[in-house]
Amino acid sequence: MEIRTIRYFLTVVDTGSLSAASRALHVAQPSLSRQIRQLETSLGCELFVRHRGRLHISPAGARLLPVARDLVTRHDQAVAMMRALAEGREPRLTVACTVTTINDVLAPLAAVSRHAVLNLMEVPTAAIADTVSSGQADLGFSSHPGATDLEVGLVVRFPVFAQVPAEHPWAGRPTVPLTELVREPLIVPTLAYSARRVFDDHLSRMSGPLGRQSVQEMDLPRAAQALAARGQGVAIVSDEPQFGLHPMVITGPAPGERVDLPLFALWSATHYAAELIGQCVAEVRDFCVRTFPDALPA
């Protein structure tokens, strides 16, 4: 089973017919048909069936489809990596993560990385694992990996901050207890943000989730920080301080506990560049510990 033939199979699926695929591939249709039949013979099953004059993928072909896409993706990645090494260039890793992780961690790291050129892909938290599993990214960083067959490793824990303006009575304090914080007007991002969900999880163990009467919800953490800078409440975010705000690590409700946002790395155990990925994960951990004094390594 050759990669070239697998590409032929995928092109037929994507174009919907042998004639369209032959034009897209610049291969004569009889030759393409022969290659598909040879692939079916080698696999021992039909990949396509004809119904009312049209070509349709068979149940066996549908089972092969995600595997075929993964094979082609990994082949192309391996070729690109080997060519980069042969030409004396650093190989490129595509990394899936949220925009906050890009802006605060990976973009600054990419400028000084020793091990790889990082191609950063903005992906919502809920889609990061699937993006890595499908081969669209080599590595993912997520605060909530969920149930996945990927390798998952805790990299670092970031605090969720309570941020106040310089004139606030709490300005200058390094920490604030959750029990004290909830008596203040709060400005929080929506539940689409992991920092908010982590904050609510800790709060629910004490008094239940946030009530609307004491909270302003903002679509973006930066907007929550802007309102806090105007003195309208305490911003609850994991982002670095903006607008002159003072950050405090939130503690409690258990003694010695922090409200932390974990950062996990996700990758395939069989990835051809697993060693390079391991170096990249270690570099991310070291960078976070050096750059963010309140971050706790795994």
Domains of the chain: 3-82 (1.10.10.10), 90-157+261-297 (3.40.190.10), 161-258 (3.40.190.10)
Tens digit of each residue's pLDDT (9 = 90 or more) over 242-261: 999 999 999 987 777 899 99
Q: Which residue has the higher pLDDT, 263 or 183?
A: 263
Tens digit of each residue's pLDDT (9 = 90 or more) over 268-277: 888 877 888 8
Say what the pLDDT of residue 91 is.
67
* pLDDT surpasses 50 at 212: no
Average pLDDT over residues 175-197: 90
Say what the pLDDT of residue 31 is.
92
DSSP 44-86: TS-SEEEETTEEEE-HHHHHHHHHHHHHHHHHHHHHHHHHHHH
d(CA 67, CA 69): 5
Say what the pLDDT of residue 237 is.
93
Say what the pLDDT of residue 87 is.
65
* pLDDT surpasses 90 at 176: yes
Tens digit of each residue's pLDDT (9 = 90 or more) over 71-121: 887 787 777 767 766 666 666 788 999 988 998 899 998 888 766 668 899
Would you place residue 210 in the very low, low, confident or very high pLDDT band (cuts 50, 70, 90)?
A: low
Q: What percent of the chain has pLDDT over 90?
A: 52
- Tally of residues, the chain: 298
Tens digit of each residue's pLDDT (9 = 90 or more) over 148-165: 889 999 999 999 999 999
Would you place residue 126 in the very low, low, confident or very high pLDDT band (cuts 50, 70, 90)?
A: confident
Average pLDDT over residues 154-180: 93
Q: What angle do CA 158, 261, 295 make, to 5 degrees?
A: 10
Say what the pLDDT of residue 287 is.
93
Query: Residues 6 or more apart from 30 whose CB is under 8 A from it?
Result: none
Average pLDDT over residues 212-224: 83
Average pLDDT over residues 135-146: 89
Q: Name the average pLDDT for the chain.
A: 87
* pLDDT surpasses 60 at 213: no
Say what the pLDDT of residue 132 is.
92
Helices (H), the chain: 3-15, 18-25, 29-43, 59-86, 99-101, 107-110, 128-133, 178-181, 194-204, 221-229, 274-291
